[in-house]
Amino acid sequence: MTESPNYPNYPESASAGRPPGAPARPSTVEGAFWAFIASTVIGLVGGLLIFGNRDAIADALRNSNRQNGGGLTETQIDQAVNIAMITAVVIAVIIAALYLLFAFKLRAGRNWARIVLTVLTALQLISLLVGQSTIVGYVGVVAAVVGVVLSFMAPSNAYFATAKTIR
């Protein structure tokens, strides 16, 4: 095993598929990347599970409508439920796209992406503790927390520091 001046203790074969001068990506960064990918997929699944709760959402809106004087017709309630569901799915897709962008930037050695993912994970954890969630929400947060922990381990820190000096 030869020593690389940019990132010690990684074999030369680890440089395959990387641009010249780029540091070898440690397994902790790869693990963090895949944990954030898993969290993103789980979040999308959770966003799509809203379609299974359409009747419960409609019932809650009907009850609220009755308590407030019944100003909405059945058609308006159905439209409101459809708009709420579509909005939730669109928001889930936008958040998933941003998570993917940040995960790929993290994998490329961008420290700012690691910080953004840490902040988003903290917000996700706070919202989980404050509000109601499903098992899917808990699993998604656990995956994101694993990603944050892996992204701040010693090999990851060295990778981000080395990647910054190369740029």
pLDDT in tens, 18-29: 555 667 899 999
Q: Is the pLDDT of residue 9 over 60?
A: no
In a domain, 87, yes or no: yes
Instruction: Examine residue 21 and state whether it is found in any structural domain, yes or no.
Output: no
Number of domains composing the chain? 1
For residue 10, the model assigns a pLDDT of: 42
Residue 8 lies in a domain: no
> What distance in Å separates the CA atoms of residue 109 and residue 102, rounded to the nearest whole number?
11
Domain membership of residue 1 (yes or no) is: no
Q: What average pLDDT is seen over the chain?
A: 85
Confirm whether 20 is domain-assigned.
no
State residue 13's pLDDT score: 41
Which domain range does residue 31 map to? 27-166
* Distance (Å, whole) CA 126 – CA 156: 25
Q: CA 107 to CA 99: how far, in whole Å?
A: 12
Q: Which of 9, 55, 39, 44 is nearest to 148 (CA)?
A: 39
pLDDT reading at 116 higher than 50: yes
pTM score over 0.85:
no
Q: Is residue 13, in this structure, part of any structural domain at all?
A: no
Give the pLDDT score at 14. Answer: 45
Query: In angstroms, rounded to a whole number, what is the distance separating the alpha carbons of residues 96 and 99?
Result: 5
> Which amino acid type is present at position 97?
A
The answer to the question of residue 7 being in a domain is no
Dihedral of CA atoms 6, 9, 13, 15 in degrees, nearest 10, equals -30
